[in-house]
């Protein structure tokens, strides 16, 4: 897999999903099989704050709940993990959520967007423009299909278009 880059239609936001992250996400999705799963995205921003760089995707926390048709991400261990990433020499931090639908349907639900709006307005993650990555089953050619969004606090979610 190679690094994926996207930009919103209005060019306000840009994202880079590193190849290593896409590989890890593909493995998490395969391991989940026929149930939904998810975790958080960790990364940083470019020096000029125009690009979100996703450098890590976590597995689902151990207290997550999941079934074929829904997923509730747990929180076990996340606070400690995020604090360690913040203190590291190459500082990274919470940048969003990823979520797997075990079918080819990669349409975010109203609950998905509602959760992101809560995160953008809350203080727990201090992330005013969280990313949402929805992954689906592999396509006929074996590539994992996905859609990526940014969910600014006071705006409608915006989809990233690959470039």
Q: CA-to-CA distance for 16 and 120, rounded, in angstroms?
A: 20
Catalytic residue check, 97: no
Measured in whole angstroms, the distance separating CA 24 from the mean position of its chain's CA atoms is: 12
CA distance 96 to 86: 15
In whole angstroms, give the CA distance from residue 1 to residue 158: 24
Identify whether the C-beta of residue 40 lies closer than 8 Å to the C-beta of residue 96: yes
- Among residues 36, 80, 90, 107, which one is catalytic? 36
- CA pair distance 147, 79, nearest whole angstrom: 27
Catalytic residue set: 36
């Amino acid at each position: 897999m190679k690094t994926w880059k996207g930009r919103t239609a209005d060019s306000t936001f840009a994202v880079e999903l590193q190849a290593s992250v896409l590989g890890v996400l593909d493995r998490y999705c395969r391991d989940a099989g026929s149930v939904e799963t998810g975790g958080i995205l960790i990364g940083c921003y470019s020096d000029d704050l125009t690009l979100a760089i996703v450098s890590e995707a976590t597995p689902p926390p151990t207290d997550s709940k999941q079934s074929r048709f829904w997923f509730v991400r747990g929180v076990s261990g996340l606070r400690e993990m995020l604090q360690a990433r913040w203190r590291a020499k190459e500082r990274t931090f919470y940048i969003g959520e990823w979520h797997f639908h075990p079918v080819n349907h990669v349409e975010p639900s109203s609950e998905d967007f509602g959760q992101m709006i809560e995160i953008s307005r809350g203080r727990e993650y201090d992330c005013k423009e969280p990313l949402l990555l929805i992954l689906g089953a592999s396509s006929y050619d074996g590539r994992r299909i996905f859609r990526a969004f940014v969910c600014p606090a006071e705006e409608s979610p915006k989809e990233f278009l690959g470039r």
